[in-house]
Amino acid sequence: MLLELRNLTKVFVARGRRQVRAVDDVSLAIPEGATFGLVGESGSGKSTLARMIPRLIEPTSGEIVYQGQNLCHFSEKQMRAVRQEIQIVFQNPFSSLNPRMTVRQLVGEPLQIHRKASGASLDRQVLSMLETVGLQPEQANRLPHEFSGGQRQRIGIARALILHPKLLILDEPTSALDVSVQAQVLNLLLDLQQRLGLTYLLITHDLGVVHYLCDRAALLYLGAVVEQGPINWIFQRPSHPYTRALLDDVPSVDPDQRMLERVSLEADSFSVHWGGTGCRFAPRCPARQVAACTTVEPPLGALAESEHRVACHLAHPLLAGESV
């Protein structure tokens, strides 16, 4: 395993000492060379989780095991070295690039910060990286506003790759892009992974993108994993009512798939209150409920295929002590 998260938790203390468990006891493992999808709606904690991995946000408890070492025990100096190997591509290519820096400066900056190269060697690396991500070397002296959204995201990817990372965290890399351009960026990511042997952690709410890029995925709801496993099982046998609802709510381009006539989720995760006992999804769950749903928090239990795990009493009737 390249990266393993064990019982990772982040509690933010809001005004009035109200505690928000943004990430709640999340465990997952990402093998080297794989693409792992982290799926969830806004407020599910997926970006907090991603930012905890290079410790841009300090976890409250739990372990981040990267290549066998627990990063939580690393000093700031050790972390600097690790952060070269764990890079993030941010969501919005319009706000994540300094508008007053040229492409050459933007892509070269990480090399300067980590004192990896300077002068002619830096320049050579920058130009070769631009080519790797499909930009022209003659564009190196331009400013971000001269580029389209897709090209800007290529600059963001170049910036992340210039330090030769092993793990790339992609935070909604295409959600700000138009469809015709999204395809170019997704295919670039596939190609780069093959050529450079990268491991990806992809954060997204777009199930189509997850299916296209990922080998495995975890679905996050209010900070906790509710279903996880190999991508085909999740899509062909979605076993958590939340996963099923999300799959149903993607508007299909086939007009015969009548999405609007199906009933699915009510309200949203912000306006429905979960008191902290029982299943966190119970207040919105469209499925038939058993008593345990509101009293016992369902564990993330393995289904028959042991790699497919689901936190739902209905999927594990015996664990809940009831017949469904």
Interface residues with another protein (CB under 8 A)?
A: 41-42, 148-151, 178-184, 186-187, 190, 205-209, 211-213, 235, 245-246, 248-255, 257-260, 264-266, 268, 270-271
Least separation in angstroms between residue 157's CB and another protein is 16
- As a whole number of angstroms, the distance between CA 160 and CA 93 comes to 13
First-residue to last-residue Cα distance in the chain: 37
Please report how close the Cβ of residue 208 comes to another protein at its closest, in angstroms: 4
Of 123 and 206, which CB lies nearer to another protein in the complex structure? 206
* Residue with Cβ nearer another protein (266 or 322): 266
Closer Cβ to another protein, 170 or 246, answer by number:
246
| Both structure tokens of 260 | 């609007």
Per DSSP, the residues of 193-262 read HHHHT-EEEEEES-HHHHHHH-SEEEEEETTEEEEEEEHHHHHHS--SHHHHHHHHTSPPS-TTS-GGGS
Residue 194 phi, psi dihedral angles, 5° rounding: -65, -45
Q: Measured from the CB of residue 236, what is the shortest distance to another protein in angstroms?
A: 9
Give the shortest CB-263-to-another protein separation in angstroms: 9
Q: Please state the closest distance from residue 168 (CB atom) to another protein, in A.
A: 17
DSSP state of 297: P
Q: Which is nearer to another protein, 53 or 103 (CB)?
A: 103
Structure-token pair, residue 241: 């009512």
Measured from the CB atom, the residue of 58 and 254 that comes closer to another protein is 254
Task: Return the number of the residue (70 or 148) whose C-beta is nearest another protein.
Answer: 148
Question: Of the two residues 78 and 187, which places its CB atom closer to another protein in the complex?
Answer: 187
Residues 189-228: b if buried by 16+ CB within 10 A, e if exposed: beebbeeeebbbbbbbbbbebbebbbebbbbbbbbbbbbb
By DSSP bridging, strand 301-302 and strand 309-310 are antiparallel
Tally the C-alpha atoms within 13 A of residue 226's C-alpha that lie toward its C-beta. 31
CB of 52 to another protein, least distance (A): 22
Interior CA angle at 197 toward 186 and 5, to 5°? 85
d(CA 219, CA 200): 16
Select 191 or 322, whichever has its Cβ closest to another protein: 191
- Give min distance, CB of 81 to another protein, in A: 33
Least gap, CB of 255 to another protein (angstroms): 5
**Pseudo-torsion of CA 102, 151, 111, 67, nearest 10°?**
160
